Structure 1
Amino acid sequence: MATKRISITAEMGPSFAIKSDIRGHNVVIDQPTAGGGTDLGPTPLEYFLFSLAGCVGSIARIAAAQQKLDLRGMRVVVEGDLNPAGLLGKPSDDRVGFQTIEISAEIDADMSDEAKQAFLDEVCARCPLHDNIHYTTVVVHELSAAGCIA
């Protein structure tokens, strides 16, 4: 089985801002000023939902090209519900992450509603991020022996 490793490195200094250079694209994650951040970028949760929307759109473009469909455009809305108590360190019976995530798509193509739904179902089945969220994925975390960041 062929595999492809995708890797990013992110760095955080004395503030909430977390920065990364991903293939020459400078991205920033931050918190709103009301949450103690400087609002330099979206929150991790917003990026997470955006990543899912982006993956769905990217796979839709690939699938449309493979199927020779004229996909003129697509609007993807991703919404998630969570109880913030756990991530704030407060007691909660809920999981820390999203309890539900909903994807809604408008597809601009000459297809029936049934065909659009089947296309969206196929796209979501092929989307790696959808797969990671829908099914159990092993996540390993460890402390790096690299030492302190200067």
Structure 2
Amino acid sequence: MSEADHIQRFAISAESESETKTVVEARDFEFVIDEPTALGGTNDGPNPVEYLIGAWAGCLNVVVHTVGEERGIDLENVEIEIQGDLDPRKFLGAADDVRAGYQELGVTIHVESAADQETLDALSEAVEERCPVGDNIGNPTPTDVTIEAN
């Protein structure tokens, strides 16, 4: 079986409802992305960078449970906190010498477990290595953005 036989494609479609509000469809689900009122939005949903780290938290949750189960580690009450700092000046066109995205992200996964810290450290390392969303955040991923007239 070739490597290509293992590839799964994921896709979404999104439609702009306003300058700040987007409705996204993913499989049979729909969700709203919007900016807070302080950034000109209507605050009808999390903003794009909040969804990004929210997606990472969701992925980390799946992976920590999967790897924990594989290793026989009982995990209860998993809670994930992610925080990051972002300088909006590039997005706003006010500076070219800063990144448009997060400058740094930090994750803390809180668990109740009888496992010792060495076991939890090894679990953390494996989870970070195996999380698809974390992989995309932590490593360059080729992108191709095209704008076409209808």
The corresponding residue for 1:136 is: 140
The corresponding residue for 1:100 is: 104
Q: Where in structure 1 are there 5+ consecutive unaligned residues?
A: none
Q: Is the 1:107–1:116 Cα contact (8 Å) retained in structure 2?
A: no
Superposed displacement of residue 21, structure 1: 2.5
The corresponding residue for 2:124 is: 120
Q: List aligned pairs for 1:1-150, cutoff 5 A.
A: 1=3, 2-144=6-148, 147=150
Superposed displacement of residue 65, structure 1: 2.3
**Structure-2 separation of matches of 1:49 and 1:118:** 23
**Structure-2 separation of matches of 1:67 and 1:144:** 49
SS in 1 for 2:13: coil
SS in 2 for 1:57: helix
Q: Where in structure 2 are there 5+ consecutive unaligned residues?
A: none
Superposed displacement of residue 13, structure 1: 2.2
**Structure-2 separation of matches of 1:77 and 1:14:** 30
Q: Cα deviations across residues 61-120 of structure 1 (Å, max 9, x unaligned)?
A: 111222232221211111111211111111242111111111111122211112112101
**Structure-2 separation of matches of 1:13 and 1:19:** 7
Q: Which segment drifts farther, 123-132 or 83-92?
A: 83-92
Q: Is the 2:82–2:108 Cα contact (8 Å) retained in structure 1?
A: yes
Q: 1:92 to 1:142 in 2, by over 3 A?
A: closer
**Structure-1 separation of matches of 2:141 and 2:123:** 25
Superposed displacement of residue 14, structure 1: 2.9
Q: Is the 2:12–2:27 Cα contact (8 Å) retained in structure 1?
A: no
SS in 2 for 1:84: coil
TM-score by length of 1: 0.90
**Structure-1 separation of matches of 2:79 and 2:7:** 30
Q: Is the 1:20–1:26 Cα contact (8 Å) retained in structure 2?
A: yes
Superposed displacement of residue 144, structure 1: 3.7
Superposed displacement of residue 143, structure 1: 2.0
RMSD of the alignment, in Å? Answer: 1.4
**Structure-1 separation of matches of 2:52 and 2:89:** 19
**Structure-2 separation of matches of 1:93 and 1:55:** 31
